[in-house]
Amino acid sequence: MPTTVWLVSHAANAALRSGIFPQAPEVPEVSVAGDDAEEALDARAVEALAAWRERWHARLAGGNRNSEAPRALTSPAAIARASARAAGFAGATTGDALAETAFGAWQGRRLTDLAREAPGALAAWTRDPGFRPPGGGESFDDVRARVGAWLDTVPDSGHNLIAFTHASVIRAAILHALGAPSSAFRSIEIAPLSVTALRRTEHGWVWLAAMD
């Protein structure tokens, strides 16, 4: 059986809904178990994750006669680790390739404030995949390079993966699978807790329509 990678966009919390760029994560040593990642979730996120778990967990976690249950991975970010745990994947291990974009000096800032203070830079960030936020931020091209390198190392062993990560990472994975230009990142919307499936075939990665 070909390998399938299920990419889950983490839940939206108050910071995300308020348009605040995330802080750099404090990376746990091994897994989401035993840390305080739940503090990243608010009541709305917990409710949304409960509904997601009811709908998706059995489909993605159970495996079948011909395959093992998928290995669970997560971004180092607290919101992604907390989402994985609440979704029923408490043993997920962290992977740096799945990390959120590094926003440099913009981390912790509000979009509305940057739109007022640095409208040109913010506009460039929304349309130019090569633009890097000041202070050591990553461009979308940077994110695509690390995500693509990670996907290319996933073995075609039939052992599926489920990864809780970020919209930027999922956009990068889709464009890598399609071999599409990075400028197309503006045309892909990734909703919180949406599921994207990529399958490895002898011809490369294929983007699958998610189950309803």
Cα torsion 29, 34, 40, 41: sign: positive
Radius of gyration, CA atoms only, the chain? 17
Percent of the chain clearing pLDDT 90 (strictly above): 75
For the question of whether the overall pTM of this predicted structure is more than 0.85, the answer is yes
Share of the chain above pLDDT 70, in %: 89
Q: What is the pLDDT of residues 150-168, one digit of tens each?
A: 999 998 877 899 999 999 9
Please give the domain boundaries of the chain with CATH numbers for all domains.
4-101+139-208 (3.40.50.1240)
Residue 5's DSSP bridge partners are 161, 198
Q: What would the pLDDT profile of 117-156 be if each residue is shown by its tens digit?
A: 999 999 999 999 999 999 999 999 999 999 999 999 998 8
Q: pLDDT band for 211, please (50, 70, 90 cuts).
A: low
Q: How far apart are CA 91 and CA 31, in angstroms?
A: 6
State the DSSP code for 131.
-
* CA distance readout (Å), 10 to 46, 179, 194: 11, 25, 8
Q: Which of 24-28, 56-60, 112-116 has the highest mean pLDDT?
A: 112-116
